[in-house]
Structure 1
């Protein structure tokens, strides 16, 4: 694993680790130390790449939201008639309700955070 300035993927690993930690411990269980350990990076990398925990959470939930948007676009984008749209929505609801536990947990954590902190509400729209 590359270190220091020769590690261009460090920031992405931190974001991935943050999302994994949210799934395992929730937003309330987050700390710079835990995320750094999970990402395999020095603790100082946290403040180098992110202004604070809110900055990291914004980045992590933005990445997650973009994956959900892609699912919606993939499932709904091809519908050209009302009947196709109804079928696509039903398929999407079925997909999401039977979806993976990770996405479900991240969705609930994001909505809980957005309920408490207005800065996250835009991500839920």
Structure 2
């Protein structure tokens, strides 16, 4: 594995590790140290790539909402009429509730943050706008 500035995937691994940690253990268990360990990067990489935990969380949840919008698009984008749209919505609801536990956990964590923090509320509003 590449190290230092020659590791172009380090930032992406940090974001992925952040989302994995939140999905598995909840936002309360997130720390720079735990994310760095999970991502396999030096602790100093956290502050090199992100100004703080809030910037990292916002970017990670932004990536997550991009993923969910893509799931919406995959299910709903091909519907040619109302009947197909209804069936697609039903399939999407089933997928979101019975599918990936990771996505379900991340969605719940994001909604909880959005209930308390305006920046995350804006992120969920943008997600809903894009999903329409």
Q: How does 1:44-59 map to 2 (within 5 A)?
A: 44-59=44-59
Gaps of 5+ in 2: 126-132
> What does residue 64 of structure 1 align with?
64
> Cα deviations across residues 63-94 of structure 1 (Å, max 9, x unaligned)?
11111100101100111211111111111111
SS at match of 1:8: coil
Moved over 6 A (4+): none
Q: How does 1:70-109 map to 2 (within 5 A)?
A: 70-109=70-109
SS at match of 2:2: coil
Per mean C-alpha deviation after superposition, the further-off stretch among 10-19 and 75-84 is: 75-84
Please tell me whether the aligned partners of residues 24 and 102 of structure 2 are also in contact (alpha carbons under 8 angstroms): no
Which TM-score applies when normalising by structure 1? 0.96
Which TM-score applies when normalising by structure 2? 0.91
Distance 1:86 1:21 in 2: 35
**Aligned Cα root-mean-square deviation (Å):** 0.9
> What does residue 13 of structure 1 align with?
13
Q: CA deviation at 1:121?
A: 1.3
How many matched pairs?
Answer: 125
